Structure 1
């Protein structure tokens, strides 16, 4: 009496692997309690208003509810300057995408808070934050490293 070989071919292993993944995903879905969500909750930043002055928006978690308060594209159409705002932190900062490497960017408000930073080697970057509790006006600017014309957003009132 001969025994049959139990080796499996590539197609058989692929089908078995996909079935295992499907069971694992189904098991995860069943494991969630009633009313639970698989999406993470928005977490407020670790600072607020004047306590955010000069701090990094990413390190403080203020980016969790960020939105673009004002935006402007450079005259050459290559650089985007965004004034970002976090309602939970009540703070604003400038983000630049597609600028020249090592260009200066800044953020300022009308109560004399002002911070600068520089774009990275790819021309992207962000500034520290300034307080913007809804009674101040903030704006952001980008100054290309080659000395060309700068680009600033309009003032933003939260």
Structure 2
């Protein structure tokens, strides 16, 4: 095969791959997304926010041994709380420092549970977990 044909084949492959990348980008853009205050109380898994989530702090363990983690999405500028396998009626909450905004949920046994998100742009947040009896709650540091 001569060099001209090789170059043409490489160019055609690059154009085809570029089209595939554009298609997946369009599909991603079609997902629901938000930023800062427009994320308040939204499910992070029904937005693009969970895609770049980080867990910037150690979790906090309540008196029953259940752990809550604070998650942060840099692209969405939002935080939320999550827990795994907490007993039924374990309460998790994400608060914005100062208490002006929060989102909460209650676990069902064995479930991966998370709160809605709250705006974190220019604020700090922390997560709280409370066992079903409400005694022995724990909270993460602020981030």
Structure with the greater alpha carbon radius of gyration: 1
Tell me the equivalent position of 2:6.
none
Q: After TM superposition, list the pairs within 5 Å mapping 1:66-77 onto structure 2.
A: 66-74=53-61
1:124 and 1:147 map into 2 onto residues whose CA distance is 20
Q: TM-score, normalised by structure 1?
A: 0.66
Tell me the equivalent position of 2:94.
107
Alpha carbons 1:97, 1:123 under 8 Å: kept:
yes
Calculate the aligned-residue CA RMSD, in Å.
2.8
From 108, 123, 137, the counterpart of 2:124: 137
Larger relative CO (CA 8 A, sep 6+): 1 or 2? 2
Alpha carbons 1:101, 1:145 under 8 Å: kept:
yes
Secondary structure in 2 matching 1:68: coil
- What displacement does 1:121 show? 2.3
Q: Which runs of 5+ in 2 are unaligned?
A: 1-12
Q: Which runs of 5+ in 1 are unaligned?
A: 1-32
Higher helix share: 2
- What displacement does 1:34 show? 4.2
Q: TM-score, normalised by structure 2?
A: 0.73
From 86, 97, 109, the counterpart of 2:84: 97
Aligned residues: 123
